[in-house]
C-alpha cells in the first residue's frame, strides 16, 4: 500500500555515512528510507527488489563502484540517483562518470569520502532529493556516430559572419550533453558555448570528458577566447561568461542570476547584443527558468531558438519556462538537437 512518501535507498560502504544520510533525510517528512546497501552490487539488487523512488549513491565502494552501479540500475530499472562524492579533482571526474551514466545530480561530501558531519550539505541534499524524485531518468545508449559532413551542407542563414550556439542546461545535463556534442562533426561552421550549472572542478571534468568523446574540440572558456567554428567552450563553474564587443569572451564574478553562476541568461543576452541574428539559443533539461530570458533576447534580434522536449528531458523546468514564455522556435527531442543545429 502506497504511503505517498518518497521511498529512498541509501548506498554507501561506510556505516557512519549510511547512518548520517538516513538522519539527514529524516528531517524531511516526505522521505522514507526503505533500504541501506553497503556496496554497489547490493545497491543494484536492492534497487530492483525495493523499487525505490530515489537512490543516494557513493562512488568509491568495493566491487561495483558508483558509476558502474548507476549504469546497471539505469539498464535494469531506471531510478533517480543522487551521487555523493568528495570535492576534489578526482572526485569531479568520478562524479561526472556517474552523471554521464544517468545519475540525476550530485552532492559533494563536506569533508572527504567519510565526512564527520553532513551539516554543510544537508540542505542541498534535501532540496536536490525532492527535485530528483520527480525526474525521469533513462538508460542512455552510446552517442550516435557522426554520419553527416557539414562541409557539404549549404545555408543561407545567417547571411554572413561567425555564428554561435548558446546552450543552457542544468540537472541531467552531463548525460544529455554526452548525446549531443559527440554527435556533431568536426566540420561544424559555428562555435558553441555551454552554460552547465556545476561547480568549477566539475565543469573542468565535463569539458575533459566531452573532448575525449567528440570530434569537435571541447574545453573550458577563458577570458580572451572567441567563439569559432568547431570549438565548444564550457562556462567555468562560479563564473559568468559574457561576450564583449568584437566577440571576445570575458569571465566575470557578477551576482548570481536565477540563483546561478554561470547563468545561461547572462551569456545569451550578451551574445544577442554582439552576434544579433547570428546567435542560436538552446535550452535543455534542468530545474528552474534559467535561459528563458536569454532566448527572449535572442528572439528579439531575430536569432533562432530551440528547446528540448518534455519526453527526453530528465527535468522539464528550464525548457518549459522558455516554451511558456513563447520564445522557442522549435521543440525537439534530445537526439534531434544536433540535426536541428545543422539545419539552421
Instruction: Give the pLDDT mean for 227-244.
Output: 96
pLDDT of residue 118: 75
Q: Has 170 been annotated as catalytic? A: yes
Q: How confident is the model at residue 229 (pLDDT cuts 50, 70, 90)?
A: very high
Instruction: Give the pLDDT mean for 290-295.
Output: 98
How many C-beta atoms lie closer than 10 Å to residue 161's C-beta? 11
Instruction: Kindly report which listed range (40-54, 109-123, 163-177, 304-318) carries the lowest average pLDDT score.
Output: 109-123
Marked catalytic residue, from 197, 240, 265, 313 = 197
Q: Has 197 been annotated as catalytic? A: yes
> CA separation (Å) from 224 to 195, 198, 220, 245?
17, 22, 12, 12
pLDDT of residue 273: 96
pLDDT higher for 122 or 1?
Answer: 122
Instruction: Give the pLDDT mean for 159-172.
Output: 85
Q: How confident is the model at residue 110 (pLDDT cuts 50, 70, 90)?
A: confident
How long is the chain? 344
Domain range list for the chain: 6-132, 150-343
Task: Give yes or no for residue 123 having a pLDDT over 60.
Answer: yes
DSSP state of 65: -
Residues 291, 323 contacting (CB under 8 angstroms): no
Fold of 6-132: Rossmann fold (3.40.50)
The cell for 182 is 559527440
Helix (H, G, I), strand (E, B) or coil at 288: coil
How many C-beta atoms lie closer than 10 Å to residue 95's C-beta? 31
Task: Give yes or no for residue 335 having a pLDDT over 70.
Answer: yes
Q: Give CA–CA dist 286/317, Å, rounded.
A: 6
- Same fold across 6-132 and 150-343: yes
Q: Give CA–CA dist 208/217, Å, rounded.
A: 10
> CA separation (Å) from 117 to 15, 19, 37, 262, 263?
13, 11, 20, 28, 31
The CA-based angle 93-98-104, given to 5 degrees, is 120
pLDDT of residue 148: 43
Q: How confident is the model at residue 141 (pLDDT cuts 50, 70, 90)?
A: low
Residues 153, 342 contacting (CB under 8 angstroms): yes
Instruction: Give the pLDDT mean for 12-26.
Output: 93
Task: Give yes or no for residue 152 having a pLDDT over 50.
Answer: no
Instruction: Give the pLDDT mean for 71-75.
Output: 94
Q: Quickly list H helices, the chain.
A: 15-25, 40-50, 66-76, 89-101, 122-132, 173-180, 200-213, 264-275, 292-300, 317-324, 337-343
Q: Name the average pLDDT for the chain.
A: 89
The position carrying cell 534580434 is 301
Model confidence, pTM = 0.88
* CATH classification number, 150-343, choose in 2.60.40.10, 3.40.50.180, 3.30.70.360, 1.10.150.240: 3.40.50.180
Residues 6 or more apart in contact with residue 178 via CB below 8 angstroms: 100, 140, 143, 209, 210, 213
N-terminal to C-terminal alpha carbon distance within the chain: 51
Task: Give yes or no for residue 115 having a pLDDT over 60.
Answer: no
Task: Give yes or no for residue 63 having a pLDDT over 80.
Answer: yes
Marked catalytic residue, from 225, 290, 313, 336 = 290
Residues 98, 106 contacting (CB under 8 angstroms): yes
Marked catalytic residue, from 38, 85, 115, 170 = 170
Residues 242-273 pLDDT 10s: 999 889 999 999 999 999 999 999 999 999 99
Q: Has 290 been annotated as catalytic? A: yes
pLDDT of residue 153: 38
Residues 52-62 pLDDT 10s: 999 999 988 98
Q: Give CA–CA dist 286/292, Å, rounded.
A: 12
Task: Give yes or no for residue 88 having a pLDDT over 60.
Answer: no
Amino acid at each position: 500500500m502506497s504511503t505517498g512518501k518518497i521511498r529512498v535507498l541509501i548506498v554507501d560502504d561506510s556505516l557512519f555515512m549510511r547512518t548520517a544520510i538516513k538522519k539527514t533525510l529524516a528531517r524531511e517528512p516526505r522521505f522514507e528510507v526503505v533500504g541501506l546497501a553497503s556496496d554497489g552490487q547490493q545497491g543494484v539488487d536492492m534497487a530492483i527488489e525495493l523499487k525505490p523512488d530515489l537512490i543516494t549513491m557513493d562512488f568509491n565502494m568495493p566491487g561495483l563502484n558508483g558509476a558502474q552501479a548507476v549504469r546497471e540500475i539505469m539498464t535494469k530499472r531506471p531510478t533517480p540517483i543522487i551521487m555523493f562524492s568528495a570535492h576534489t579533482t578526482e572526485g569531479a571526474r568520478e562524479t561526472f562518470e556517474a552523471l554521464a551514466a544517468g545519475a540525476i545530480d550530485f552532492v559533494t561530501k563536506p569533508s572527504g569520502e567519510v565526512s564527520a558531519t553532513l551539516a554543510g550539505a544537508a540542505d542541498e541534499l534535501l532540496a536536490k532529493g525532492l527535485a530528483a524524485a520527480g525526474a525521469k531518468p533513462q538508460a542512455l545508449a552510446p552517442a550516435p556516430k557522426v554520419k553527416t559532413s557539414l562541409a557539404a551542407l549549404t545555408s543561407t542563414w545567417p547571411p554572413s559572419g561567425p555564428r554561435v550556439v548558446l546552450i543552457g542546461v542544468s540537472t541531467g545535463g552531463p548525460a544529455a550533453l554526452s548525446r549531443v556534442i559527440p554527435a556533431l562533426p568536426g566540420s561544424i561552421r559555428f562555435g558553441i558555448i555551454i552554460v552547465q550549472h556545476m561547480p568549477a572542478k566539475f565543469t573542468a571534468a565535463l569539458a575533459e570528458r566531452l573532448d575525449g568523446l567528440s570530434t569537435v574540440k571541447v574545453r573550458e572558456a577563458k577570458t580572451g577566447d572567441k567563439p569559432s567554428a568547431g570549438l565548444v567552450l564550457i562556462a567555468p563553474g562560479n563564473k559568468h561568461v559574457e561576450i564583449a564587443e568584437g566577440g571576445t569572451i570575458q569571465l566575470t564574478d557578477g551576482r548570481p542570476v536565477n540563483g546561478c553562476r554561470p547563468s545561461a541568461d547572462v551569456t545569451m543576452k550578451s551574445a544577442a547584443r554582439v552576434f544579433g541574428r547570428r546567435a542560436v539559443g538552446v535550452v535543455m533539461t534542468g530545474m528552474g527558468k534559467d535561459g528563458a530570458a536569454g532566448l527572449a533576447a535572442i528572439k528579439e534580434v531575430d536569432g533562432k531558438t530551440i528547446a528540448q522536449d518534455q519526453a527526453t528531458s530528465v527535468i522539464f523546468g528550464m525548457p518549459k519556462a522558455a516554451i511558456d514564455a513563447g520564445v522557442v522556435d522549435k521543440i525537439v527531442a534530445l537526439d534531434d538537437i544536433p540535426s536541428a543545429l545543422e539545419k539552421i
